[in-house]
């Protein structure tokens, strides 16, 4: 089945959206129609039922009102009470007015002709009922017999007739309500059938629309697959139809363009293979001739190289011996120069170290003097601490005597009685001052003891440092003397080394002249040997290259045959 023309150039995504959109719209439309019809039928049925219920309610109210009037009239025939008579008269009048209003409302609401006849009949009967009641109400209380006759012969039969007519109307309204309900149900069933049929029609339309959309996608897919299969099988002469403007059409156009390119490549490759096959044959024949020429040249060069090898060997032995002698002389010269430099560096280092040791020795002596001064200062501090200790002992004895004096003063003031109270207060304050003095003296004594201990410990450490510095000074003096001796020895060695360096330089110049002559002879022989070696290597290279060319020509011929077989797999005509 052919695709719809306007879908041919539509994108695949748009086609799928159209199919799903149409199906979705169809389902939504069916659902909307069903819901809409149900709502309409439900609302109509609701209004009709409400109207019927209102009519039934009014008819029942009228029937009850007529029965109420009948009861009131029966009471009036049996009572002599004026008050009751007036109340019942008023109730009957009101009830009649209510019935008239209800009948008027029912006649306006009901449009049925059959019901209209019943309402006319009911209205005429009610007019008689009303006239009888008005006549009934005109009689006084004393005329109960006339009232009873009107009630029995007129009001009561007509009231029964009215109730019978109202009952008929109620039954008719109920039947009409049932009929309307049945008709509504039938209408809903018809609507459901119509919805089912319309849904089926929409589903069929959606099915065919989807089928058209699927065909508009599947046919280009099959065309693409067929074209790709023909290219894969080597058939490059098949015509690929032009694609649409959708994605599959673009793919089909690209496959067509690819087929044309591959076909052109295969045609060009076939012609290139033929040319390459001819060239490989020519290469192979030329390479065989070249191999023969290279073999002859290599044999001639081999004979020439054999004659020169003995001469080169003898000259190389002489040259190697001369070079060994020259190298040894150069090494001795280098060693002597290095020794001279090393002697100078050692001399400079020893001289610098001697100066450093002299400076360190002087600084060590100054440090020894500083340490000795510190030791003397600590001894003076220790002596001063001893003097402070003696003064504190004196203060302690004075404090003890002050305590004794304050005690004696307290005793004397106690003996003096009231006259000695002031003296007792002064003695007590002196005693407290003496106690404080004694406490302060103890703290000072403890502090001085700790200070003396620290001073003695520091003095011992300083004495140890002083002894260590004396040992260092003695070692520095010995080291300085040794380095002065080494400095004088190195200076003598330096003079001898300069003399030997001069002699070795003279010998080195003579060795250079000998080496130059030997090197010139060796260079000449090396040039000849190298030239012959280069010719032999060139001949061997030419021979190997000719073999490589022949191998390459054979491989090229094999490759051309393989390419010819591959290109023959494709059909381009």
Burial class (CB in 10 A: 0-12, 13-18, 19+), 525: middle
Task: Write down the pLDDT at residue 1.
Answer: 42
Instruction: Report residue 468's pLDDT band, with 50, 70 and 90 as the boundaries.
Output: confident
Contacts with 448 (C-beta within 8 Å, 6 or more apart), sequence order? 385, 388, 389, 392
Task: Write down the pLDDT at residue 308.
Answer: 54
Task: Write down the pLDDT at residue 552.
Answer: 63
Per CATH, the number for 260-568 is 1.10.287.950
Mean pLDDT within 25-45: 69
Instruction: Report residue 3's pLDDT band, with 50, 70 and 90 as the boundaries.
Output: very low
pLDDT tens-place string over residues 167-199:
887 787 778 777 777 777 777 777 777 777 877
For 161, phi then psi, to 5°, come to -60, -40
CA-based nearest residue to 185, from 59, 41, 399, 25: 41
Task: Write down the pLDDT at residue 56.
Answer: 73
Instruction: Report residue 2's pLDDT band, with 50, 70 and 90 as the boundaries.
Output: very low
Which of 92-106, 329-343, 545-559: highest mean pLDDT? 92-106
**DSSP letter string, 196-247:** HHHHHHHHHHHHHHHHHHHHHHHHHHHHHHHHHHHHHTTB--SPPPPP-SSH
Task: Write down the pLDDT at residue 287.
Answer: 62
Residue of 2 and 112 predicted with greater confidence:
112
Is 1.20.120.1730 the CATH number for 5-221?
A: yes
- Tell me what the pLDDT averaged over the chain comes to: 69
pLDDT tens-place string over residues 507-565:
666 656 656 665 665 676 566 566 666 656 765 676 676 667 667 666 666 766 676 66
Mean pLDDT within 32-53: 69
Please, are residues 391 and 445 in contact by the beta-carbon 8 Å criterion?
no
Contacts with 186 (C-beta within 8 Å, 6 or more apart), sequence order? none
Task: Write down the pLDDT at residue 84.
Answer: 64
pLDDT at 483 over 70: no
Mean pLDDT within 3-25: 60
Instruction: Report residue 243's pLDDT band, with 50, 70 and 90 as the boundaries.
Output: low
pLDDT at 315 over 60: no
Task: Write down the pLDDT at residue 394.
Answer: 74
pLDDT at 39 over 70: yes
| Six token digits for residue 308 | 């020169």
Instruction: Report residue 502's pLDDT band, with 50, 70 and 90 as the boundaries.
Output: confident
How far CA 26 is from CA of 30, 148, 193, 197, 204, in Å, comes to: 6, 77, 17, 13, 10
- Residue 233 is classified by DSSP as T
pLDDT tens-place string over residues 281-292:
665 666 666 566
* Share of residues in the chain with pLDDT > 90 (%): 0
Task: Write down the pLDDT at residue 521.
Answer: 58
Contacts with 255 (C-beta within 8 Å, 6 or more apart), sequence order? 224, 227, 228, 231, 240
Task: Write down the pLDDT at residue 133.
Answer: 74
Integer Cα distance of 241 and 223 in angstroms: 8
- Residue 5 is classified by DSSP as G
Task: Write down the pLDDT at residue 463.
Answer: 74
| Six token digits for residue 524 | 């000449």
Residue of 532 and 407 predicted with greater confidence:
407
CA-based nearest residue to 55, from 145, 122, 4: 122
Mean pLDDT check: name the lowest of 281-295, 396-410, 428-442.
281-295
Cross-strand bridge partners of residue 235: 571
Task: Write down the pLDDT at residue 53.
Answer: 72
Spans of all domains in the chain: 5-221, 260-568
The half-sphere exposure of 279 on its side-chain side, counting CA atoms within 13 A, is 12
Task: Write down the pLDDT at residue 35.
Answer: 67
**260-568 has the same fold as 5-221:** no
Residue of 7 and 248 predicted with greater confidence:
248
- Residue 4 is classified by DSSP as P
| Six token digits for residue 377 | 């200062």
Task: Write down the pLDDT at residue 59.
Answer: 74
Task: Write down the pLDDT at residue 244.
Answer: 65
For 571, phi then psi, to 5°, come to -105, 115
pLDDT at 327 over 50: yes
As a 3-state breakdown, the chain gives helix, strand, coil percent values, each rounded to 5, of 95, 0, 5
């Amino acid at each position: 089945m052919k695709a719809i023309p306007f879908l041919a150039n539509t994108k695949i995504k748009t086609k799928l959206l159209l199919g799903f959109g149409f199906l979705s719209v169809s389902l939504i439309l069916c659902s909307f129609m069903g819901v809409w019809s149900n709502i309409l039928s439900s609302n109509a049925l609701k209004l009709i039922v409400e109207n019927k219920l209102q009519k039934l309610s009014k008819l029942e109210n009228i029937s009850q009102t007529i029965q109420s009037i009948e009861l009131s009239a029966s009471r009036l025939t049996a009572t002599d009470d004026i008050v009751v008579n007036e109340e019942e008269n008023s109730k009957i009048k009101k009830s009649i007015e209510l019935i008239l209003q209800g009948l008027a409302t029912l006649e306006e609401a009901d449009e049925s002709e059959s019901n209209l006849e019943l309402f006319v009949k009911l209205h005429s009967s009610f007019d008689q009922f009303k006239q009888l009641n008005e006549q009934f109400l005109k009689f006084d209380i004393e005329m109960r017999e006339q009232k009873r006759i009107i009630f029995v012969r007129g009001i009561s039969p007509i009231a029964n007739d009215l109730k019978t007519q109202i009952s008929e109307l109620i039954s008719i309204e109920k039947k009409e309500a049932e009929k309307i309900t049945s008709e509504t149900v039938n209408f809903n069933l018809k609507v459901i059938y119509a919805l089912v049929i319309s849904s089926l029609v929409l589903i069929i339309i959606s099915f065919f629309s989807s089928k058209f959309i699927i065909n508009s996608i599947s046919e280009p897919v099959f065309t693409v697959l067929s074209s790709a299969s023909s290219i894969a099988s080597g058939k490059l002469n098949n015509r690929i139809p032009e694609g649409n403007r959708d994605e599959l059409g673009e793919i089909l156009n690209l496959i067509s363009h690819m087929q044309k390119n591959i076909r052109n490549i295969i045609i060009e490759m076939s012609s290139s293979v033929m040319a390459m096959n001819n060239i490989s044959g020519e290469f192979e024949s030329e390479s065989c001739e070249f191999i023969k020429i290279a073999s002859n040249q290599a044999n001639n060069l081999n004979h020439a190289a054999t004659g020169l090898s003995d001469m080169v060997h003898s000259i190389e032995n002489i040259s190697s011996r001369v070079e060994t002698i020259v190298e040894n002389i150069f090494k001795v010269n280098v060693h002597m120069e290095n020794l001279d430099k090393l002697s100078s560096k050692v001399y400079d280092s020893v001289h610098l170290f001697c100066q450093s040791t002299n400076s360190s020795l002087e600084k060590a002596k100054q440090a020894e003097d500083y340490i000795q001064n510190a030791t003397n200062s600590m001894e003076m501090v220790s002596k001063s601490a001893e003097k402070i200790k003696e003064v504190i002992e004196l203060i302690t004895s004075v404090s003890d005597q002050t305590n004794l004096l304050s005690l004696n003063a307290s005793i004397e003031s106690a003996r003096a009685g009231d006259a000695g109270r002031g003296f007792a207060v002064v003695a007590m304050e002196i005693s407290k001052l003496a106690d404080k003095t004694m406490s302060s003296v103890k703290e000072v004594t403890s502090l001085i003891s700790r200070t003396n201990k620290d001073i003695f410990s520091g003095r011992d450490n300083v004495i140890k440092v002083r002894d260590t510095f004396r040992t260092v000074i003695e070692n520095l003096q010995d080291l300085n003397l040794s380095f002065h001796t080494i400095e004088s020895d190195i200076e003598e060695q330096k003079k001898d080394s300069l003399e030997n360096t001069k002699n070795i330089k003279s010998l080195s110049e003579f060795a250079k002249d000998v080496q130059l002559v030997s090197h010139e002879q060796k260079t000449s022989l090396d040039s000849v040997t190298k030239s012959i070696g280069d010719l032999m290597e060139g001949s061997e290279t030419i021979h190997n290259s000719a073999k490589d060319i022949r191998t390459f020509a054979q491989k090229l011929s094999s490759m051309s045959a393989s390419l010819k077989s591959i290109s023959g797999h494709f059909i381009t005509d």
